[in-house]
Chain A
Amino acid sequence: MIRLILSILFVISFWGLTHAIVPEVNPLIGKPSMEELEMTKYDPEPSADALILFERREEYMFYGTEGFTIKRKCTSRIKILNEAATHLGDITIPYYAPDSKNKISKITATSYNLINGKIDKTSVDRSLIFHEKLAPGFFLCKFSIPKVIEGSVIEIEYEIDCHTMTFDWEIQGEYPVLRGELDLTLPEFFSFNVTPIGSEHIELEQKVERSSMSMLNQLINCDATIIKASVDRMPSLHDDDYVFAISDYYTKLNVSLIGIQLPRQPYQPLASTWNDLSVHFHNEWNEMKKLKNPYQDQMQSLDFSDCKNICDSVNVCADFVATHLRWNGVYNTNPGNIKKAIEEQSASNAQMNFVLMSILKDLGIKCNPIALCTRSRGVVSAAASMIASSLNTMALTFIDSDNKYHFIDCSDDYRGSDALPIDMLTSFGLIIDIDNQQYHTMTTHNDVSSSRRKIDVEIIDGVAHCVSDIALTRQEAAEFQHLYHKSLDHNHFISEVESQFNIDITDLTLQGMKHRSNNVRINAKFDKAVAHTDSVIYINPMIIPEIVSNPFLAETRKVGIEFPYQEESTIVSTIKIPDGYMIDELPSALSIRDTNGELSFTYNISVSDDNIMLICRRKKLSTIFPQNVYNDIRLIYDSMVDKNTDLIVLKKK
């Protein structure tokens, strides 16, 4: 009997240790459970500062005086596990209201705290609900729930009217979610695509029921598709330095309106395919076909004498546009009132690009606009039907004599052809051939940016005297230009470089710094102290190492690894062995790469007469590495750090 009891106790404790305890799901508003109030941590994620106990959205579509409308009811119940999350009691709800009327209604927000065993309930006072106008038509509704402290359970409910034709039910975020639910009522008059996205499971149920819909204040009976989506124990996902948009990795449900057919009206399709999108952009950009070069009389001032290829010529023209039009900080696709922009000399990137297109047309260089979604907005999902609203900017593309595609955007003064702003380097772009009513899709990651460094070194009295020749292309050249122009002047730049790399520069000349050059050349002479004793010299053959620490320290990773652009780097370093010294130790060679060969590193060192030569190559031929190769990436970076800090040892004979 005792053995049986002990066995039962053992099983129970073992069960407790191996099964995380989570509270029961409680969807009821106004009735927090003691379990919720008493809990102090969420076992599956013990360091979580808060737990979304329950989140529900009910979406009901109708056709009102403002057209297609979604009435959305939002309900959230949140447990504050740590005082670091008390800010969750400060609520901000953005809404769009072109008529400046408040679109948020039926707000209730309450905190519950357990005080001396009793539940203390405090609701938000209506006088403490505020509205802020951000810009015409765009508002924020703000309120703070009283008495939100560590241990509180807070509940928020409100209704909002929106007119968006596509939205994501983003149920994953910074905090874990115990239970999430979405109820969609889709009257038969609206055609939708509903697409789950992400790696976690979303439970989906669908049925058709008899329902009704409000149409211009009349109630119409109809069939409706009822979709219920739910998730249980959704883990949190945190932002990261090597991710452009964390929302790309969230598990979510995309809901997109693809067509409307109201009673006794023809079917009104909305963009649902790339073909529909191309029609949309053809229409939006049709006028730009006829745009005449506004600077025709100044074209003679353009100097193409240094241009070796079409990219150089396009760079000259882009630079010319930038001397006449200042980028106003706006990325968009619609050229709007381009004449006004030209008059005022202040333009969006789309306007600048179309002006460039008109100039290139005069020069006989054919180019086409390409619609893009900036990376920080997230990846454009091919499953999303309403992609037009995602594509928020554009660039130009042109073809060289080898039929190779090139890209240019005028917004950045230091970026020429094939050096689009990093936020525009995406996998999906829609090229519109506006003359021929054609389109095709393409990635704007079209080329590898390179850095080639050659250094000749002579060591005298513990100082490495170096002569360096560096060639940078595309993004590398653009990044250098940005860095250089941040300094007060040339001498200030030199002193900043000296400080950063711990060197003394005796001479620095730069070439290719004008006209959005894709090629920058840096010639430098500098000295660097080397570690030494009376009889031994220690010198890093790279002289200035590139990678000295591994950015990937975590054992595991939940999301992919994203890099700004494809790049390759080559260092050729030649070190003359000083008279009276011999080689005591040389670093070993290394060659390492990932399975697909998209990230590789080689390090080879050789000796010829009294010279030691290092040839080191690093290649990154992809900008996105999936999460399942994280360990490989981490290992490669570890090896790169290792070799970047290797030392040659020279000993006195």
Chain B
Amino acid sequence: MKTFITRIIILTLATLSVITSQAADIDIPTIPDSLANGANSVVLSDYTTVNVISLSEATISHYRSVLVFNKKGEKHANFGATIDKYTSIKKLTGTLYDSNGNAIRQIGKKDLTTTELSPYLASDEASCTHSFDHPTYPYTVIYEWETSISGYLITFPSFVPIRYDSQSLLENEYKIHLPTSMKLNYKVCNTVPVISNEEVSGWNTYTFRIPKTPAIKDDSYLPNTNEIVPLIHLNPGVFEVSGIRGYSDSWKNIGIWLTKLMEGRDQLLPEDVNSLKALTAQYPTPREKAKAVYELLRNTTRYVNISLGIGGLRPEKASDVKARGFGDCKALSNYMCAMLKALDIPCDYAVISTEHKNVLHDFASLGQFNHAIMRVTLPGDTIWLECTDPTLPFGYIHDGIAGHEALIVDGENSHIVRLPMPKHEIQKREYKYYVEFTTDGCGYSHIEENYSENYFEKNRMLKEITRQETQDNIREKTGLSTALVVDFKYVENLSNQSVCSYIYTIFAPKFCKQSEKRMYIPTNLFKTDISKYTDYQRILPIVMTDKHEVYDITIRIPSGYKLESLPSNIEVSSPIGQFTQTAAVTDDLIHITQTIKIPRGEYDASLSPQLAELTQAIYDNMNALIVLVK
């Protein structure tokens, strides 16, 4: 009986302990003004511990606590993680606390929303997410979880405790425990952390702590996020995937590993090689042969992404791409290389980032790339080819990669190169038009639009469109809702540069506003894509991309009218850029020129008033009116 009662008591106590072992309440720290100002949330703590078990295995424990101040910060506290064939979430708890630190709600791994939805044909990734929707602010959310990596340990998770603008950072620590023989590479960006390293019995424990960091305000013309937020990249000095060992102490060694990974995947069937030779036999030079092969790529393939397992890094076999007629950027670039190699045309496969212009020269890691291209190397001639969009002209370097650094994957010759970038002066959009009016106010205008280099790729016409579509496009561009296009021509000129032109004549019953006595003619029919910038407490540098626009406008003053108001000559110049306008009248012709020149570059935040002034001048003058009076 006693035993029985004892058992009941023990069982009851055990049950009670289960019921009561919910999350304990927490103390919410006081947030100093320097971190609260401009913040919609604060990362109270972000602790990551990586335990490396072997070359291909690790467990990672995470603890992240975020205090949300208001509605704008609520997504800052959400949980999100990607799992795949190699990575899984072992355990997870999430707890919601009210403004006093009282635990309100707790969730477990089963409460995560998991979906395999992807934009690819196939991917073995799934995303796991969770959010506490809480109606009153402030509140705190803490997630603790453990992930396991097995079979694929090329890189360690980067330490990026600040993940959103308007989010500040309080306590944090990243700890990694790995065999000394594995060696740790790390790169610190945009911060000066406290770093310590302890070696015990052949194991190293590195610890990184980033100083408290205030929130970053969102703004226009900002640098890339990875150039602003404090972050630490880490990877193992040695790694092994699919039985292939690699070293990340240099870009050359990364290239060597990639080369090994891709070995044997650039072989084509003999009959396909023979077809290639037959196709290109008529072309005398390697360049012409390469161009013909690029055209073949365009006509026989399309972009489809299959990202399974190591397929995220290793391209599909060239012979498979040939058979299927599709592949992703890696597969298509590798296939193109295979075809050129079959014709003895020297070429290289390369990896590059479309998001970041520069690689970290002192930190070699595959995570810095998200795209693959290829390069043809002829004596005195290097041709870069974008294989996922062969509609681009042969050798055209598009805006997503122009000026970016790439890793040439060529075994012992692997190295970093920078792709060329067209000079600012030749990247241009140019409008030239002449307007004449009839006695009843209708306007005829002959218009020429020219787009070169980066403007070319955004404005080129990829297929024939109907007359109606052409007319609708021109109406939208000019704001002349009743304009009739009387003839239209599209021309591409790829001889020296990449230029496309639209040449057309329009007739518009309401070319301009007309009152009883006056005509109001827009100084410029076309709108710039440069928006007005408002200077508002800017702290971060200003990053500008190339903007170069030239307008040449001639207007014939109709008989019976004289000039009443004309925009003036103006020049606004600053270290960031320049806007000039000239306006002159000769007999009955008004001639206006407007030029906007803003070269790409990074400028100090103190220049933001000048940027505001420049964009204001552009806005005012491009929207001004010429007034004629009877």
Contact = CB atoms under 8 A, between A and B. Distances in A.
Interface of A: 46-47, 49, 82-84, 86-87, 89-90, 111, 122, 128, 130, 132-135, 140, 142-144, 146-150, 322-329, 344-346, 413, 485, 488, 491-492, 495-496, 498-499, 502, 529, 531-533, 536, 538, 549-550, 552-555, 584-585, 587, 634, 638, 641-642, 645-647, 649
B528 interface: no
Contacts of B298: 83
B469 A132 contact: no
B121 A143 contact: yes
A496 B104 CA distance: 38
B424 to A, nearest CB: 26
B135 A531 contact: no
A327 B482 CA distance: 46
A149 B520 CA distance: 51
Interface string B459-478: 00011111011011001100
Given A47-B465, A143-B121, A323 B304 contact: no
Contacts of A638: 481-482, 510
27 contacts: A47-B463, A84-B463, A89-B326, A122-B323, A122-B325, A128-B121, A135-B115, A140-B117, A144-B121, A144-B326, A146-B325, A150-B299, A324-B136, A326-B133, A326-B134, A345-B135, A488-B38, A491-B536, A495-B535, A499-B532, A529-B620, A531-B624, A533-B565, A538-B627, A549-B479, A553-B481, A638-B481
A257 B133 CA distance: 39
Interface string B121-139: 1100010000011111000
Contacts of A538: 520, 565, 625, 627
A346 B121 contact: no
Contacts of A144: 121, 304, 324, 326
B115 A585 contact: no
B620 to A, nearest CB: 8
B104 A345 contact: yes
Given A538-B627, A646-B513, A346 B132 contact: yes
Contacts of B126: 133
A553 B299 contact: no
A553 B475 contact: yes
B536 A495 contact: yes
Contacts of A645: 513
Contacts of B391: 83
A132 B123 CA distance: 9
Given A86-B302, A495-B536, A647 B326 contact: no
Contacts, number: 154
B468 A554 contact: yes
Contacts of A413: 71
Contact of B117 (A87, A132, A552): A132
A531 B481 contact: no
Contacts of B105: 344-345
B304 A641 contact: no
The listed residue with most B CB atoms (<10 A of its CB), out of A84, A90, A634, is A90
Contacts of B326: 89, 144, 146, 148
B297 to A, nearest CB: 11
A247 to B, nearest CB: 22
Contacts of B624: 531
Contacts of A585: 515-518
Contacts of B536: 491-492, 495
Contact of B135 (A149, A323, A553): A323
B588 interface: no
A362 B396 CA distance: 71
B22 interface: no
Contacts of A550: 481
The listed residue with most A CB atoms (<10 A of its CB), out of B513, B517, B520, B536, is B536
A321 B151 CA distance: 50
Contact of A89 (B302, B463, B464, B466): B302
Contact of A149 (B113, B302, B471): B302
Interface residue range, chain B:
35 or more
A142 B133 contact: no
B121 A130 contact: yes
A84 B300 contact: no
Contacts of B302: 83, 86-87, 89, 148-149
A47 B472 CA distance: 14
Nearest to B517: A585
B472 A142 contact: no
B466 A47 contact: yes
A645 B518 CA distance: 14
B217 interface: yes
A587 B121 contact: no
B118 interface: yes
Nearest to B321: A146
A552 B482 CA distance: 10
A504 to B, nearest CB: 11
Given A491-B536, A538-B625, A538-B627, A325 B135 contact: yes
A144 B301 CA distance: 12
Nearest to B325: A147
B304 A84 contact: no
A531 B134 contact: no
A47 B513 CA distance: 34
Nearest to A83: B391
Contacts of B218: 488
Contacts of A649: 515, 517-518
Contact of B324 (A86, A132, A135, A146): A146
Contact of A130 (B122, B323, B465): B122
Contact of A132 (B118, B476, B535): B118
B412 interface: no
A130 B125 CA distance: 13
B534 A345 contact: no
Nearest to A82: B463
B37 to A, nearest CB: 10
B122 A326 contact: no
B556 to A, nearest CB: 21
Contacts of A142: 121-122
B571 interface: no
Contacts of B325: 111, 122, 146-149
Contacts of B323: 122, 146
A629 to B, nearest CB: 17
Contacts of B532: 499, 502
A147 B122 contact: no
A441 to B, nearest CB: 33
Contacts of B515: 585, 587, 646-647, 649
B110 to A, nearest CB: 12
Contacts of B479: 549
Interface in B144-174: 166
Contacts of B306: 128
Nearest to A641: B481
Contacts of A86: 302
Interface string B508-527: 00100101111010000000
Contacts of A325: 135
Given A134-B117, A142-B122, A502 B619 contact: yes
Interface string B86-126: 00000000000000000011000000010111100110001
A118 to B, nearest CB: 14
- Pick the 10 closest A-B CB pairs, nearest first: A147-B325, A326-B133, A346-B133, A326-B135, A146-B324, A499-B534, A130-B122, A550-B481, A132-B116, A553-B475
Contacts of B565: 531-533, 536, 538
